[in-house]
Amino acid sequence: MRDDTTPTHCPYCALQCGMNLRRVPAGAAGTGRGAVPVEVVERTDFPVNRGALCGKGRTAPELLSSRVRLTGPLIRSHATGRLAPATWEEALRATAEGLARSRTDHGPDAVGVFGGGGLTNEKAYTLGKFARVVLGTSQIDYNGRFCMSSAAAAHNRAFGLDRGLPFPLEDIPRTGCVVLVGSNLAETMPPALRYLTELRENGGRLIVVDPRRTRTAEQADLHLAPRPGTDLALALGMLHLAVAEGRTDEEFIASRTSGWPEARAAAMAHWPEWVERITGVGVPRLREAVAMFCDAPTGMVLTARGPEQQSKGTDTVGAWINLCLATGRAGRPLSGYGCLTGQGNGQGGREHGQKADQLPGYRSLEDPAARAHVARVWGVAPDSLPGPGRSAYELLDALGGPVRSLLLMGSNPVVSAPRAAHVEERLRSLDFLAVADVVLSETAALADVVLPVTQWAEETGTTTSLEGRVLLRRRALTAPPGVRSDLEVLHGLAELLGHEKGFPTDPEEVFEELRRATAGGPADYSGITYRRIAEEGGVFWPCPEPVGDAARREAGGAVHPGTPRLFLDGFATPDGRARFVPVAHRPAAEEPDAEYPVLLTTGRVVAQYQSGAQTRRVAELNKAAPGPFVEMHPRLAEALRVAEGETVAVVSRRGRAEGPARVTAAIRADTVFMPFHWPGSGRANTVTNPALDPTSRMPEFKVCAVRVEAVREERPDGGTPPG
Ligand SMILES: Nc1nc2c(c(=O)[nH]1)N[C@H]1C(S)=C(S)[C@@H](COP(=O)(O)OP(=O)(O)OC[C@H]3O[C@@H](n4cnc5c(=O)[nH]c(N)nc54)[C@H](O)[C@@H]3O)O[C@H]1N2
Ligand SMILES: Nc1nc2c(c(=O)[nH]1)N[C@H]1C(S)=C(S)[C@@H](COP(=O)(O)OP(=O)(O)OC[C@H]3O[C@@H](n4cnc5c(=O)[nH]c(N)nc54)[C@H](O)[C@@H]3O)O[C@H]1N2
Ligand code: SF4
Ligand SMILES: [Mo]
């Protein structure tokens, strides 16, 4: 490795593609702001992407030197109401005072903290510790609640442990059949598409379940296009047929599971003909899918946001898990259920304590033993740790009410939260808002204090990929002088709030503490060190370090190898058996009616990332995906007398969003699709429904009832142009 080259990982999605960053010699790319200081060079030794990157990863360095990047703190001036430059001392002091004032006036739970699944493990851990130890608040949650919380809840319920994928991606091409439910991998994790291509080259079959014929669905042997919000019925229908056709694995059910009689009865109550009526997927197609899945010797079901972001997401994932368990496709080599986690540290971000109900190591905040363990590591009394707080949407909804001030790090809810106009209004009603970000996001623009932070390539830290593989991102260049790392921000605030110790700024020092905090917990990182990750290219958790192993490790001896594959010897439940959960279909929180006759579903496009805060500022990506659109079927377009490219409004009970019509037969005629990456008049989340799943508290991003209207431009003569 040349010494101007640093092996690291992409700042964006959970695939965490490996890349090398090479410093560009001064002068070679121009000078000053705007000159990109590093270039991405192929890194072929990381097995997950073997050098391949999508456009977002390839262009990620652009934001490092971008003119729109924040380079100094900002404080809102009382006189002008505008954000104005300030020193770090002023900004940290104003933040500490803003948070402390709410605490003094209204109690510790009047202070909220909102984190992000893009934060490294070290940051997520420190943010959770900061909330509980320094602020003493229970009111902390994060955007991962909007992401994979339903799959996480279902995982815990069935398997006793939540790791998105219980096997590495490299197993996918060797299984017999993959059912991919509501994932548009070809656009959301392009380098991973190769695993599906290889699966089919090896003779394996691919079933894709998506209301749209996406670029991913085009790869499938069988594409099922259910009505949005009906995956639960679909999975139950498949299980019903598997039972009726004698395709269940009774030996596996008897030896490895519990609860089958109830789950079986629940599935048998869902007749295939009824499922056809609910989902729009015909019985013959359903039968074909069951045969394809069960005839293969091994099989996997993988879900992503499609079935999960529903007000019944937990039960829906549970239904797919039941299908896996009943057919013996779990806890065996090359078989199982997995969730494709989304954000860069979507997995690690949910393990180390920025979630409302959780302590590091995936420990429960309500478990006295877990509280005692973590309190010991933190040097505080177990009783001083607050209990569980509100979930993400509930927390945002409580802003300006019981929660008076907020520290936000790593999320842009003005664009990404459901019922976003309401959330924006809640944020505006706060007594005090501080936002740490790398750019002036739509949410940062509302803040009283903006804290500019370092970016991925300027700092070191670990992430845990969708495979459960703990990876090391390394610092490749020095940050501009005006910015500080998130860890430095939290250290500075802790100090001002009376905690001089316990909040180190060195990521490795934080990780060493995290190892101890997670020791013995479900997500045990105690055997993982920076050095091991660097040498081994990543380590899968759980990776405990039993007594004596530290010395062995120091001496170069054999230690716990990490756990690429889970559940092969038993599930993580007390009796080692996977638990069936009986589930029944229920409608979406909002079904179409005469006033709102169409279904809206939302999601992503390949060139933009999430709220777009970062990718909308990269020229190449912005050119590829310049703005919102409304995908609709030609029949719907005809009924509305709308042509390709004409502006339409999508209106729900919560508000309206506009965009040009994109007319395509690749979507169901009863459904329109909008990507959610943009603010303003095209903000899809103005329209979405914050109905929550009762278990995971996941909002129903994937289905709500809308009316679609043509927006005719007024003509001088008062008429409208022909439609
Ligand atoms: N380009 C890009 N890549 C990303 C991201 C990004 O913003 N942009 N974000 C990252 C993150 S955080 C995440 S969580 C992942 C998300 O990755 P995905 O889950 O693949 O992304 P989505 O586009 O939200 O949803 C996937 C599919 O669900 C379908 N769908 C909609 N409603 C339903 C339904 O009711 N049932 C079923 N079965 N399917 C439905 C949509 O048509 C869509 O094609 O992507 C990650 N990668
Ligand atoms: N309608 C609809 N809405 C959705 C979804 C959907 O499918 N449909 N998907 C949901 C999902 S799955 C997700 S994950 C959310 C994501 O939505 P958001 O939480 O808004 O995610 P990002 O846009 O990634 O926001 C991250 C912010 O943090 C900043 N940032 C990046 N790295 C760092 C860092 O290290 N430190 C700090 N301090 N800041 C940083 C970025 O610049 C950006 O402003 O959106 C959800 N919203
Ligand atoms: S697929 Fe994800 S991790 Fe890989 S380059 Fe693209 S955004 Fe980055
Ligand atoms: Mo996500």
Q: Check which CATH number belongs to the domain holding 10 and give it.
A: 2.20.25.90
Q: Is 379 in the same domain as 282?
A: no
Rounded to the nearest integer, the mean pLDDT of the chain is 96
Q: Which carries the bigger pLDDT value, residue 550 or residue 710? A: 710
Establish whether residue 313 lines the binding site of ligand 1, counting it when its CB lies within 6 angstroms of any ligand atom: no
CA–CA gap between residue 617 and residue 609 (Å, rounded):
11
Q: Which residue has the tokens 């719907």?
A: 636
**pLDDT at position 29, please?**
54
Question: What is the number of structural domains in the chain?
Answer: 4
The identity of residue 512, as a single letter, is: E
> Two tokens at 117?
């699944």
**pLDDT at position 717, please?**
56
Segments forming the whole domain that contains residue 320: 149-340
Q: Is 433 in the same domain as 368?
A: yes
**pLDDT at position 722, please?**
44
Q: Is 268 in the same domain as 408?
A: no
Q: Is 47 in the same domain as 142?
A: no
**pLDDT at position 3, please?**
83
Domain holding 132: CATH number? 3.40.50.740
Percent of the chain with pLDDT over 90: 94
- CA-nearest of 347, 54, 19, 339 to 187 is 54
| pLDDT band for position 716 (cuts 50, 70, 90) | low
Query: Which of 42, 189, 340, 455 best tests ligand 3's pocket when mutated (most atoms within 8 Å of CB)?
Result: 189
Q: Is the pLDDT of residue 67 over 90?
A: no
CA atoms within 13 A on the CB side of 547: 0
**pLDDT at position 98, please?**
98
Establish whether residue 398 lines the binding site of ligand 1, counting it when its CB lies within 6 angstroms of any ligand atom: no
Q: Which carries the bigger pLDDT value, residue 555 or residue 574? A: 574
State which of 340, 370, 400 marks the end of a domain.
340
Centre of ligand 1 to C-alpha 573, Å, is 30
Q: Is the pLDDT of residue 84 over 50?
A: yes
Q: Is the pLDDT of residue 660 over 50?
A: yes
Q: Is the pLDDT of residue 83 over 70?
A: yes
Establish whether residue 308 lines the binding site of ligand 1, counting it when its CB lies within 6 angstroms of any ligand atom: no
pLDDT digits (tens, 9 = 90+) for 138-188: 999 999 999 999 999 999 999 999 999 999 999 999 999 999 999 999 999
Report if residue 665 sits inside a domain: yes
| pLDDT band for position 720 (cuts 50, 70, 90) | very low
What is the pTM (predicted TM-score) of this model? 0.97
Average pLDDT for 664-684 = 98
Q: Is 396 in the same domain as 323?
A: no
Q: Is 303 in the same domain as 330?
A: yes
Alpha carbon nearest to ligand 3 atom 1, residue: 189
Q: Is 168 in the same domain as 263?
A: yes
Pairing of strands 111-115, 405-409: parallel
Q: Is the pLDDT of residue 327 over 90?
A: yes
Average pLDDT for 60-76 = 94
State which of 307, 340, 373 marks the end of a domain.
340
Q: Is 605 in the same domain as 686?
A: yes
Q: Is 496 in the same domain as 415?
A: yes
Establish whether residue 212 lines the binding site of ligand 1, counting it when its CB lies within 6 angstroms of any ligand atom: yes
Percent of the chain with pLDDT over 70: 97
Report if residue 574 sits inside a domain: no
Report if residue 73 sits inside a domain: no
Report if residue 723 sits inside a domain: no
Q: Is 52 in the same domain as 133?
A: no
Average pLDDT for 288-317 = 98
Centre of ligand 3 to C-alpha 57, Å, is 5
**pLDDT at position 66, please?**
82
Pocket of ligand 2 (CB under 6 A): 116-119, 143, 146-147, 305, 309, 342-343, 409-413, 415-416, 436-439, 441, 453, 486, 602-603, 610-611, 613-614, 676, 684-685, 688, 701
Domain holding 275: CATH number? 3.40.228.10
Q: Is 315 in the same domain as 396?
A: no
Report if residue 389 sits inside a domain: yes
Cis bond upstream, residue 542 (ω within 30): yes
Query: Which of 416, 462, 678 best tests ligand 2's pocket when mutated (most atoms within 8 Å of CB)?
Result: 416
**pLDDT at position 34, please?**
63
Centre of ligand 2 to C-alpha 410, Å, is 7
State which of 340, 369, 393 marks the end of a domain.
340
Average pLDDT for 92-119 = 98
| pLDDT band for position 723 (cuts 50, 70, 90) | very low
What's the sign of the alpha-carbon dihedral 405, 411, 415, 417?
negative
pLDDT digits (tens, 9 = 90+) for 456-481: 999 999 999 999 999 999 999 999 99
**pLDDT at position 27, please?**
67
- Measure Cα distances from 394 to 139, 149, 335 in Å: 10, 14, 37
Centre of ligand 3 to C-alpha 12, Å, is 6
| pLDDT band for position 554 (cuts 50, 70, 90) | confident
Centre of ligand 2 to C-alpha 677, Å, is 10
Q: Which residues contact residue 318 at a Cβ distance below 8 angstroms, ignoring those fewer than 6 apart?
A: 154, 157, 158, 581, 583
| Inter-residue contact 231 to 316 (CB < 8 Å) | yes
Domain holding 651: CATH number? 2.40.40.20
| Inter-residue contact 404 to 105 (CB < 8 Å) | yes
Q: Is 322 in the same domain as 352?
A: no
CB burial of 240-265 (b: ≥16 within 10 Å; e: otherwise) equals bbbbeeebbbeebbeebbbbbeebbe
Give the number of whichever ligand sits closest to the CA of residue 412: 2
Report if residue 593 sits inside a domain: no
CA–CA gap between residue 475 and residue 318 (Å, rounded):
40
| Inter-residue contact 90 to 424 (CB < 8 Å) | no
Report if residue 254 sits inside a domain: yes
Query: Which of 8, 9, 15 best tests ligand 3's pocket when mutated (most atoms within 8 Å of CB)?
Result: 15
**pLDDT at position 129, please?**
98
Centre of ligand 3 to C-alpha 437, Å, is 20
> Two tokens at 530?
């920076």
Report if residue 84 sits inside a domain: no
